[in-house]
Structure 1
Amino acid sequence: MNAGTGKRARTALACLVLLGTPAAQAQAPSFDTVRDSWRSSEARLLDRYGQPLAEVRVDFDERRLDWVGARTLSPPLVRALLVAEDKRFLEHSGVDWTALAGATWDNLWRTLEGRRPRGASTLTMQLAGLIDPALRLQGTRRSVGQKWDQAAAAREIERRWNKAQILEAYFNLAPFRGELRGISAATRGLFGKDPDAVDAREALLLAALLRGPNAPAERVAQRACAVALKLKPAPACAELRTLANQVLTQRYRLEPRWTEAQPLARRLLREPGEQRATTLDARLQRRTLDALGRERADVAVVVLDNASGEALVWAGGPDDTDAAVRRLPAGSTLHAFAYGLALDQRWISAASVFDDSPNFVTRALPPGLQGSGQPLSTRAALTQAAEIPALRVRALIGDDALTATLRAHGIDASATNGSRASLPEMANAFRTLANDGIWTPWALEAAQWRGVDRSGKRLWASPVAWLVGDLLSTRTTPDAHDWHAVMHGRSSDRATHWSVGWTRRYTIALRAARPVAATWLSVAAAIDPIPAEAAPPPPGLEGVRLRFEPEIEAEREEYFLPGTQQAFADATVRDLFGRPRIVQPTTGVKLVSASLPAGRQAMLLEARPGWPGLQWVINDERLPAIEGRALWSPRPGRHRLALEDAHGLQLQSIEFEVRLDAAPETFNGGPAPRTPPGPTPASR
């Protein structure tokens, strides 16, 4: 029997063997179905423009990456695969009958001799097994019936798919090493590169792995060397052995490609292949991380857009947890809202002076709190987060009013247990001050806006919101090159430090276990580098050149609500004998608005130092003093005001006159400031 006759005989025998088994109904899925059903084991977080921010693994059964198109496969990779697995791939229609017949004839003798049979599956037949679990290899070899079903499925695939699609699907579905499935996971896990960058040596190693993905490195190298002999030029076998030992004898490393928002991604992403869109801006996110530098693991940052409330940056903190959403004690960071209430209610103004000492404080002092012992203006007390002046302010406004205000801003506030906030909650509360006193919700994902009222609610009169921002701003700093307003504070146990403030475009909130004032400035400069000037004051505020006597701070221009303006501030906190004395009002004529009813106006009565038990007596009316202060509804005429101690002993008295002022009081066309129970703020 000559060679041609033997070849034909073996082919006929293989066909007879296969035809002797009932054929399964071949139902090959379409290429699009197979490709679209592929799911990466990774999930991806996207920014507002669809740019990747972070990638995390969520499926731990197999390691799969993105589906790779045929055009992105390197030529050496395709050539090595065809030489190793299917040299007549471009010629056959799913089954290589010649190779199959030869393998069937040869396997008869191998079986008799007790040797392992050899296979003759084409790439398309192998692909059929990768697509249909019923056609996959069970044990050490397929049955004749399973082989026939595999061949029938391969022919159906070839009928519906083109060769490029078959190659593409095979490369993406094939297992390569351990849990690495698909060419993208294999090349990045073993070589740290994408499939389009694979060279000839790496391609041969990958082709050799297809026969035995978990074989020892030496056996894989031996197989690669055998395939290399069929290539011209052939890589040296020694190089292949060295490469196999380098990459196959150690655990693979497959690092995420994007790591700009890992903590957030770990919290949000759950489904394999998920691509979740956010409102973040990858450009600002990277600028922020660059500004944090080596501190990125210790400092958490959230940045909100002032106009929309959308989160633009969500960065920093440890990779294993999203520190930004933890509610931690806000402490002195919330002084801004207490001072805002006191300004709104006319208890204080920019000309007020506070005694930063524990003398005569009406509230319980924390242990060890001493203060500076110096007089502080409202601006200095607020920006320094001075604790004792803040206690004096809280005594004026009351805890219930402060708690209600904080809750309206979205802060978890309690009069007994303190206030706690997450970074986005704190940022959004301060954004209200930056946004003309109007609170609107914040969002991290576009889906959060569905069904949400975004019109907002006014929590502050426009002049009051501007005043708080101005007191926190750099406007009065001589060497300030750019306007911003920021509050630096800490929790009472000093375990949490906050810096929260805003530029003209963004509200920035930082939190860490150490002071972050300098870091806040770095982040602000990185994301909003264009210098900006302060926004002009809204109607309803009056600018006055303010001088302190004694000169505890430099003379400067300050702004006042109507009726609270002063050009001179008495900064003496006590007289030579230490007895309280009347600071406001002074003798002379006082004007009150003729456009408001008498019951809707208030005049501040202030004495220093604010001994406990002080009382005011104006004509025959008695008013208890809080921190030396009281509010009185003025009426036209001459009045006598006396200050008494807790025992009724008169300490000082003055006389003054109240007259009507015809000029109307306006507040930017909006609602008048919110007022406390009883007499309400007005001119004095």
Structure 2
Amino acid sequence: MKKKFLAGGALFTALVLLGSGVYFYNSLPKLRSYEQVKTQYQSSDLYILSHDGKLLHQWRKNKDNRSFQWTPLADISPVLISEVLKSEDRFFYEHTGVSITSLVASLYQRSFKDSSRGGSTITMQLLKLIAPDRAQYSGMTGKLRQILSAYRLEKSWTKKEILESYLNLIPLRGEYKGVTSSSWALFNKSPSGLTLKEAVALAVLIRSPNAGVKDWKNRACWQEPSLCSEFPAFIAELAKKTLESSTHNVALHLAQRLSPHFVSGEIKSTVHMDVQTYTQEVVKSQIQNLQAQNVNDAAVLVVENATGNVWAYIGGSGISDKKFVDGVRSYRQAGSTLKPFLYATAFENNILTPNSWIEDSAVDIVFERGIYKPQNHDKQFYGWVQVKTALASSLNVPAVKVFKLLNDESFWTRLQMLGFKNLKEPEHYGPALALGVADVTLEDLTQAYRTLANNGIYTDLRFTSNDPEPKARQVFKAQTAQDVAYILAQSENRALGFGLDSALSTQGASVKTGTSKDMRDNWCVGFNSRFTVGVWVGNFSGDPMWNVMGVTGAAPIWKKVMAFLDANYPSAKLSLASAQKEITPPEKYPQARIVYPQDGMIMALDPAIPRGHQKMPLLAEGPHPAGLQWKINGKKVAGNKSILWTPETGRHTFELYQNQKLAQKVQVLVK
């Protein structure tokens, strides 16, 4: 009898409230529009988007709650929408904000079933989610205010707008807000791809977000009896999750780089999702294959030549424990990757041509800090070779000789013009700069090769759609860049060092590898007419790899990425015909030169050593040694390629003749 009295009282109260609704109607709180709610929505995370708006990476900025990007209704699985309506508002598309059936059912449940089931529609629930002060909808008066406001909301908003806003704003398990954040947290997928079982498990959480496993399972079974046998184990496993979202990680390092530039919750990058994802998988696979050889880390940069747009930015292998180190911006020893710019400088200064001959033989290079004895990686010497072979086969001795031929700081200056940062002064490196002892970043190295691909023109990279159009500067003449590109594109040029069939044998692309001292770093950088791809492989810890060269470590990654680009974003073949025509014919008798002493050198005799025991070497190189002749202060001396001279105080002139013609003259002051 008491329950009937209570039910009658509750119904009477409801009728009184409805009857006085006209009084409240004009004093209802002002409602925000759908556009205002969506615009004012704040994601707890920052987002990196691909060039076409796809999510590449996200990371958290708000620690109070967890909400992701606003998700359109079209991007939410229909099965999830259906299960939410089934659980929360079966008559959503039939009522106009208030369901009398649900209200009566709620009153009945509260009065006779001791149930706390509410009669609020999705529209009424949304009002609390968007209200500046939720207290205005509390109590009996507040309930009337909520009912009347729901009618008003349905008149100004569409059903689609109401449902979409509700699904984005509804609080769910733990700190998560909206179905998108919970979907990623629980199932590691967007709400567009949820299965029926997943949709049910998520939908029944709305009524009691932090329900225990038992209640959660019971609600799911009540909602979808056909799957009840699967829910106990499934929900028990979901309940174990920490709900720390396993979001996209493919652009972690790009996100770190761009984070200072955020002006809103998201930023659209120039990265292409398919290229980024494929490259990351190739890197992961290659490093897994090399882990037995003590290789754990890698980085890749893919750049479009014409625009400078970065299409892929992989800062790490994805399997290393040093996941926050950015390999694209880390400084590592360049190895042989600087040689193309050394030879380009020599071409630019008209010292050599691609078909010039240079001797690959043992030599002692004397410089301010001592004597340098360069060797090739295989400890062999190949005698007289053409410059194009020396470069493409990465011979060390010819590179050092080219450096000495320049006899100035022009190579170092070109490296600065190419954008290499943090270079020490030239004297710090000495002739070893020719072999890449300088520390460089993958970003700067890739940029330098892109300059060759762009006919010697350098421009900055672009990482976002808002980056300004880059300014251009000419570093090398177009002909010089084309000459180097052609050399690096021909398999026969690198046959001496790598054979004709290697990971570098790619049609229509120019490529160079490099390996630093003790195999701590290896590189592969190259380009076709549309893209430049740079790859670094090694260990962020600095530990050496075990028998891994550039051609076996970085080159396989480079080759696969280039093949993917060529298949999906075809490019014209490199236009290098002009470079072939301009290259001079092979020179049978290249110019001899003085290796030591250098012009302008100042020497001092050691008073502690007897004069007759002090010797200075005269070193020369050139074809046909028998045709070489030295003159000291105008007088012929015995010997051709190398002799020992007893120094005397004063200024002295040393002349080298080749076939009775003066090849070079230097002057030295002895004190």
Same fold (TM over 0.5): yes
- 1:500 aligns with 525
Aligned to 2:535, which of 487, 510, 515? 510
Matching residue's letter, 1:510: V
Matching residue's letter, 1:431: R
Q: What's the CA shift string for 1:95-142, capped at 9, x where partnerless?
A: 4567657867997999xxxx896644333222111112521699xxx4
Cα gap change, 1:129/1:199 in structure 2, threshold over 3 Å: closer, same or farther?
same
**Contact 1:27 1:156 (C-alpha < 8 Å) held by counterparts:** no
- 2:270 aligns with 279
Q: What's the CA shift string for 1:650-671, capped at 9, x where partnerless?
A: 886754599xxxxxxxxxxxxx
Cα gap change, 1:321/1:273 in structure 2, threshold over 3 Å: closer, same or farther?
farther
Aligned to 2:456, which of 437, 460, 463? 437
**Contact 1:279 1:443 (C-alpha < 8 Å) held by counterparts:** yes
Aligned to 1:606, which of 581, 586, 593? 593
**Contact 2:362 2:375 (C-alpha < 8 Å) held by counterparts:** yes
1:395-434 equivalences in 2 (<5 Å): 395-398=404-407, 400-412=409-421, 413-414=423-424, 415-417=426-428, 419-434=438-453
* 1:294 pairs with 2:285: yes
Report the structure, 1 or 2, having the larger helix content. 2
- 2:566 aligns with 528
* 1:37 pairs with 2:78: no
Q: Give secondary structure in 2 for the equivalent of 1:391.
A: helix
- 1:265 aligns with 255
Cα gap change, 1:643/1:180 in structure 2, threshold over 3 Å: closer, same or farther?
farther
For the residues of structure 2 that align with 1:161 and 1:282, how far apart are their CA atoms? 35
Q: Give secondary structure in 2 for the equivalent of 1:499.
A: strand
Matching residue's letter, 1:353: I
Cα gap change, 1:417/1:305 in structure 2, threshold over 3 Å: closer, same or farther?
farther
Identify unmatched segments of 5+ residues in structure 2: 288-295, 319-323, 430-437, 539-547, 602-615, 623-630, 638-642, 647-651, 667-671
**Contact 2:483 2:583 (C-alpha < 8 Å) held by counterparts:** no
- 2:604 aligns with none
**Contact 1:125 1:154 (C-alpha < 8 Å) held by counterparts:** yes
Q: Give secondary structure in 2 for the equivalent of 1:445.
A: coil
Q: Give secondary structure in 2 for the equivalent of 1:165.
A: helix
**Contact 2:170 2:179 (C-alpha < 8 Å) held by counterparts:** yes
Matching residue's letter, 2:205: L
Matching residue's letter, 1:248: A
Cα gap change, 1:399/1:146 in structure 2, threshold over 3 Å: closer, same or farther?
farther
- 2:545 aligns with none
1:146-157 equivalences in 2 (<5 Å): 146-157=142-153
Q: Residue 324 of structure 1: CA displacement?
A: 0.8
Cα gap change, 1:174/1:48 in structure 2, threshold over 3 Å: closer, same or farther?
closer
Q: What's the CA shift string for 1:502-522, capped at 9, x where partnerless?
A: 333332222122533332334
For the residues of structure 1 that align with 2:485 and 2:391, how far apart are their CA atoms? 11
Q: Give secondary structure in 2 for the equivalent of 1:498.
A: strand
Q: Give secondary structure in 2 for the equivalent of 1:175.
A: coil
- 2:542 aligns with none
For the residues of structure 1 that align with 2:94 and 2:489, how far apart are their CA atoms? 77
Tell me the TM-score normalized by structure 1.
0.69
* 1:453 pairs with 2:478: no
* 1:489 pairs with 2:492: no
Q: What's the CA shift string for 1:320-371, capped at 9, x where partnerless?
A: 3432122333244223222332333344444332354243544646888555
For the residues of structure 2 that align with 1:442 and 1:160, how far apart are their CA atoms? 47
Q: What's the CA shift string for 1:15-41, capped at 9, x where partnerless?
A: 546969988632111123223433444
Q: What's the CA shift string for 1:278-300, capped at 9, x where partnerless?
A: 33344444554455451367321
Aligned to 1:158, which of 148, 154, 160? 154
- 1:351 aligns with 356
1:40-79 equivalences in 2 (<5 Å): 40-70=43-73, 77-78=80-81
**Contact 1:188 1:194 (C-alpha < 8 Å) held by counterparts:** yes
Aligned to 1:335, which of 334, 339, 344? 339
Aligned to 2:402, which of 384, 388, 393? 393
- 1:12 aligns with 12
Aligned to 2:330, which of 318, 326, 329? 326
For the residues of structure 2 that align with 1:289 and 1:100, how far apart are their CA atoms? 54
For the residues of structure 2 that align with 1:568 and 1:652, how far apart are their CA atoms? 13
Of 123-132 and 434-443, deviating more is: 434-443
Aligned to 2:588, which of 567, 589, 596? 567
**Contact 1:172 1:182 (C-alpha < 8 Å) held by counterparts:** yes
For the residues of structure 1 that align with 2:373 and 2:655, how far apart are their CA atoms? 34
**Contact 2:526 2:534 (C-alpha < 8 Å) held by counterparts:** yes
Matching residue's letter, 2:521: T
Identify unmatched segments of 5+ residues in structure 1: 229-233, 547-565, 570-583, 585-604, 617-623, 631-638, 659-677, 679-684
For the residues of structure 2 that align with 1:539 and 1:81, how far apart are their CA atoms? 69
**Contact 1:338 1:394 (C-alpha < 8 Å) held by counterparts:** yes
For the residues of structure 2 that align with 1:431 and 1:75, how far apart are their CA atoms? 47
How many residues are paired up? 572
Q: Residue 406 of structure 1: CA displacement?
A: 1.2
Matching residue's letter, 2:255: A
Q: Residue 474 of structure 1: CA displacement?
A: 1.6
**Contact 1:45 1:269 (C-alpha < 8 Å) held by counterparts:** no
Q: What's the CA shift string for 1:513-572, capped at 9, x where partnerless?
A: 25333323343334336794771235983542x4xxxxxxxxxxxxxxxxxxx2356xxx
- 1:559 aligns with none
Q: Residue 408 of structure 1: CA displacement?
A: 1.1
Q: Residue 465 of structure 1: CA displacement?
A: 3.0
**Contact 2:97 2:151 (C-alpha < 8 Å) held by counterparts:** yes
For the residues of structure 2 that align with 1:281 and 1:81, how far apart are their CA atoms? 35
Cα gap change, 1:463/1:25 in structure 2, threshold over 3 Å: closer, same or farther?
same
Cα gap change, 1:365/1:46 in structure 2, threshold over 3 Å: closer, same or farther?
farther
Cα gap change, 1:190/1:266 in structure 2, threshold over 3 Å: closer, same or farther?
same
Q: Give secondary structure in 2 for the equivalent of 1:212.
A: coil
**Contact 1:39 1:273 (C-alpha < 8 Å) held by counterparts:** no
Q: Residue 214 of structure 1: CA displacement?
A: 0.5
Matching residue's letter, 1:263: H
Q: How well do the aligned residues superpose, as a CA RMSD in angstroms?
A: 4.7
* 1:476 pairs with 2:492: yes
- Overall identity of the aligned pairs, in %: 25
Q: Give secondary structure in 1 for the equivalent of 2:216.
A: helix
For the residues of structure 1 that align with 2:270 and 2:512, how far apart are their CA atoms? 25
Matching residue's letter, 1:333: T
- 1:383 aligns with 392
Matching residue's letter, 2:481: A
- 1:663 aligns with none
Matching residue's letter, 1:382: L
**Contact 2:184 2:190 (C-alpha < 8 Å) held by counterparts:** yes
Q: Give secondary structure in 1 for the equivalent of 2:308.
A: coil
* 1:190 pairs with 2:186: yes
Cα gap change, 1:261/1:99 in structure 2, threshold over 3 Å: closer, same or farther?
closer
Q: Residue 7 of structure 1: CA displacement?
A: 6.8
For the residues of structure 1 that align with 2:522 and 2:214, how far apart are their CA atoms? 57
Aligned to 1:28, which of 17, 22, 31? 31
Q: What's the CA shift string for 1:248-301, capped at 9, x where partnerless?
A: 344447543x55433213432576984433333444445544554513673212
For the residues of structure 1 that align with 2:380 and 2:121, how far apart are their CA atoms? 89
Q: Residue 92 of structure 1: CA displacement?
A: 4.7
Cα gap change, 1:147/1:368 in structure 2, threshold over 3 Å: closer, same or farther?
farther
